[in-house]
Amino acid sequence: MYVCSCFGITEQQVKQHADGGACTPRQIASACKAGTDCGSCVRRIQAILGRGACPRRELADRGQPALAELEDAA
């Protein structure tokens, strides 16, 4: 299923980039451009990253503010 229809990036591709070390939507964007056109997929990318694709999720699990990521992406 496509996450970013502007660039045809699938959820699987986002997860692969996350495995490769991209932990924020911005890093995903620099890896594959997803989120750099209309921006409507950024929240979906954040959701994928928040589902455990990225090691940083542990921070959120420990109760640290995950919303910092939103500000980072803005």
Q: Which residues of this chain interact with ligand FES, rule CB under 6 A?
A: 4-6, 34-41
Between 22 and 35, name the residue whose CB sits nearer to ligand FES: 35
Smallest gap, in angstroms, from Cβ of residue 62 to ligand FES?
A: 30
Nearer to ligand FES, 6 or 59 (CB): 6
**Toward ligand FES, which CB reaches closer, 61 or 70?**
70
Contact yes or no for 66/60 (Cβ under 8 A): yes
Collapsing DSSP to helix, strand or coil, 4 comes out as: strand
3-state secondary structure of 54: coil
Q: Are 4 and 48 in contact (CB under 8 A)?
A: no
